[in-house]
Structure 1
Amino acid sequence: MDGPGPRAMRSKSQLQAAIRDGGRAVLVVNARSRRGRRLFDRARELLDAAGLRFVETVPVTDPARLREIFTGVLALEPDLVVVGGGDGTVAEAVSHLAHRDAALGVLPLGTTNNFARSLELPLNLKDAVAVLRDGKVADVDVGWVRGTRPDGSGAETDGGRLIFANMVSLGLSVHVAQHVPHGLKRVLGRGAYALTAAWLLPRHEAFRATIRAGDRVQEVTTHQLNVANGAHHSGQRIARDASPDDRLLAVYRLGDERRLRLASATARHQLTGPWRSLREDAFLTTDEVHIATDPPLQVDVDGEIRGRTPVTVRLLGNALRVIVPQSFVDT
C-alpha cells in the first residue's frame, strides 16, 4: 500500500463523531462507471443538500490513475472518503483504506454493486446519500490474496499481497470479465455478463483444483471456483447468513466438469442464495485457504486479473471502516 503511514486509530464512535462534526471528507467518483458519468452532477447536488461538505472532489476519467488518486487522497488525512462507482473503484479504495483511521462511504454507481449490496446499502442514489448522512461507522472484514503475476513469471503480485473487498474467482468468470463488451454492459447491465458467459461456455475447459484449509483438503473438477468475503456475487446473495462481517471466507464451486452443470448450478445458486446457509456442504468456510490448479489459471480479484495460481487467500477481520445503515449488524 502506497502513501503515508497510518495515524493512530480512533474508536468507531470517535471517528463517527469527527465525521458528524464536519471532519475532513473527500469525494471520488468514477465518471466512467456505468452510472457515474450520468449521475456525477446529481450526486453532488444530493450530497450538498444533505449537508455533506468535501475538502476535495475528484472525478475520475482514467481508471488507470485510481491508485495514484487514492494515494493523494490519503495524504489529506481525511476522516471520510466517499467513493462513487462500481466494484472495481470500491475495491481500489478498500485496498488503500484497510487498517486506516478513516471511513469509506459508498455511492453504488456500478453494474453489479456487490460490495454495496453486502453492506446492505440502498442502490438508489438519494437513499445512499441519506445513509452517508444518517448511518454509522462499522468495522467489516476484507481479504488478503497472494499469488504469482498474471504473466506466470513466478514473481509475486504487488510485493506479495493484495487487499480485496468482495471476491477472488477462478474459471469461466475470468474469461467473461476479459471479454464482456463495455457497450453491452452500458445497455444491459448485469445481463451482459450472462450473455457473454453463454457465448464462452461451449469452448471453456474444466480445471482441477486442490483446496487446502487447515487440515482439510478437497480436490474438485469444475469450471468455476470462488472465494467470497462479501455476501453477493453477480448481484445475487450467496447465502442468507453470508456477511462481510462474519469473520469467514466462503469457498464454493459452481458445477463440475460438465459444462451444462455450470449453467444449471449458476442458476440454482442465484435462485436459492437467499435461503441457503454457509453451513451447507456446498460451502467450505475458513479464515485462510490455499488453492492450486491444473493447469495454472489467472485469478480475478474484485473484477481485475491480478495473479495466477497457486494462490493463498486470507481473511483480515474488522480491517475496514465503512459507513453503513443503522440497521446493519456490526460485530
Structure 2
Amino acid sequence: MRSKQELGEAIRRHRRAVLVINARSRRGRRRYDHARSRLRAAGFDLLGTYPVDRPGQLEKSLTAAAALAPDLLVAGGGDGTLSAAARLLAHRDMALGLLPLGTTNNFARTVGVPLDLDGAVAVLTDGKVIDVDLGLAGDVPFANHVGIGLSADIMLRTPPRLKRITGRLAYPLTALALLARHRPMRATLRSAGAEHGFVTHQLYVANGGFHAGRPITADADADDRLLVAYPVGGPTRRGLLRDTARNAATGHRRTLGDEPFLAVHELWLETDRPARVEVDGELCGQTPIRLGLAANALRVMAPADSPDR
C-alpha cells in the first residue's frame, strides 16, 4: 500500500482513472456524457467508463473498473452507488472519487465534496487523498448508516412499480401506509459494559455526519472513530413524525453529547423480536447484530483543506 501522499501524487501526475456512473439515479443518465467530458478536459486518462443503466449491473461494473488498476475510481450516483464503491475499495491501494448525483448525497456531504458536478471534478483535480472510517454491520461495510425498524420495512414493502412512477416519493408514501399498523420495538444496545434501552419505531446507527441530506449533529463525521446510535421518537407514531421533523430542522445545532445520541466504538444490538436491518438503503439481515468500525478503511479524494485524522 502506498501512503496517502504517494497515492495523491500519482493521481496528480498520471491522472489514471476509471468512471462508473449509475445512469439510473436521479440525474445520472443525463450527466454521464458531461462527467466523462469534464474528466477528460481535466486531463484524466480514463482507462474505462461504465454507464450503469440496468438493475444488478453496478457491482459487476465496479469490479471490472477496479480490475483495471487505476489510481482513482470515480463513482457517480446516489448514496447507494457510492456506498457500493466504498465497500469494494475498502483497504485497497486506490482512491474513491465522488460525483454526487443522487438526492440526499449524505456521503459526499460528510466528506465535504461539492454537490455540483464541476465542483466535484475540481476536488478530483485539486484535492487530496484522506482516510475515512467505514462502519461494519456484521462483516458488511457501510459508509452512511444502518436502519432498524420502519426504514427497513419500507425497503421491503415499497412496490417497484411505485418507485418507477414516483421516484423517491415512493418511500414516504409507503411509510405513511405502513405506519398506521407498524408496531414499536424494544431495542437494547450494549457497548463498553453499559446497556441502553429504547422503545421506538425506528433506530439508526450512523457512521457519517448526514442523514436524509441533513446534519445528524454538528460534530459527527466519518473520520472520528465513532458510530452514532439514536432512536427517532418513542413508542407512538406521533413521536416518530415529530422527531423526524425535529432532527431535520435542528441537527446542525445539536452535539453528540445531547440526548438521545450514543457515540460508541462498537455495539451489540438486540430487539424484542427479530427486526429487519437495512444497510445504506439495502436490506441486510435482521437483529440481533453486531455493529463496529473499520478505522481509516477507505481512501477518498476530498477538498484540499479537509481535516484528516
TM-score by length of 1: 0.89
Alignment gaps of 5+ in structure 2: none
Instruction: Write the deviation string for residues 16-54 of structure 1: whole angstroms up to 9, x where unpaired.
Output: 000011143111111111110121111112222222221
The reply to whether residue 121 of structure 1 matches residue 102 of structure 2 is: no
Provide the C-alpha distance between the structure 1 equivalents of 2:123 and 2:155, rounded to a whole number of angstroms: 30
The reply to whether residue 304 of structure 1 matches residue 282 of structure 2 is: yes
Query: What amino acid is the match of 1:256?
Result: G
Instruction: Write the deviation string for residues 97-143 of structure 1: whole angstroms up to 9, x where unpaired.
Output: 01111100010111211111111111111111111111111000001
Provide the C-alpha distance between the structure 1 equivalents of 2:67 and 2:207, rounded to a whole number of angstroms: 28
Runs of 4+ in 1 over 6 A off after TM superposition: none
Give 1:192 shift.
Answer: 5.0
1:103–1:137 Cα contact (<8 Å) kept? yes
Instruction: Write the deviation string for residues 142-199 of structure 1: whole angstroms up to 9, x where unpaired.
Output: 01111xxxxxxxxxxxxxx21111101011111233317323554xx5x554444333
Residue 252 of structure 1 corresponds to: 230
Give 1:280 shift.
Answer: 1.5
1:30–1:63 Cα contact (<8 Å) kept? no
The reply to whether residue 320 of structure 1 matches residue 298 of structure 2 is: yes
Provide the C-alpha distance between the structure 2 equivalents of 1:184 and 1:27, rounded to a whole number of angstroms: 28
Provide the C-alpha distance between the structure 2 equivalents of 1:119 and 1:37, rounded to a whole number of angstroms: 24
Residue 132 of structure 1 corresponds to: 124
Tell me how large the CA RMSD over aligned residues is: 1.5
TM-score by length of 2: 0.95
Provide the C-alpha distance between the structure 1 equivalents of 2:45 and 2:227, rounded to a whole number of angstroms: 36
Give 1:85 shift.
Answer: 0.8
Provide the C-alpha distance between the structure 2 equivalents of 1:253 and 1:42, rounded to a whole number of angstroms: 41
Residue 185 of structure 2 corresponds to: 207
2:40–2:46 Cα contact (<8 Å) kept? no
Mapping of residues 128-167 of structure 1, within 5 Å = 128-146=120-138, 161-167=139-145
1:140–1:319 Cα contact (<8 Å) kept? yes
1:111–1:185 Cα contact (<8 Å) kept? no
Give 1:209 shift.
Answer: 0.8
Provide the C-alpha distance between the structure 2 equivalents of 1:74 and 1:314, rounded to a whole number of angstroms: 26
Mapping of residues 161-240 of structure 1, within 5 Å = 161-178=139-156, 179=158, 181-183=162-164, 186=167, 189=168, 192-240=170-218
Provide the C-alpha distance between the structure 2 equivalents of 1:128 and 1:74, rounded to a whole number of angstroms: 20
Residue 156 of structure 1 corresponds to: none
Residue 20 of structure 1 corresponds to: 12
The reply to whether residue 80 of structure 1 matches residue 72 of structure 2 is: yes
Shift of the 311–185 alpha-carbon distance from structure 1 to 2, 3 Å rule, reads farther
Alignment gaps of 5+ in structure 1: 1-8, 147-160
Work out the percentage of aligned pairs sharing the same amino acid: 50
Provide the C-alpha distance between the structure 2 equivalents of 1:281 and 1:88, rounded to a whole number of angstroms: 29
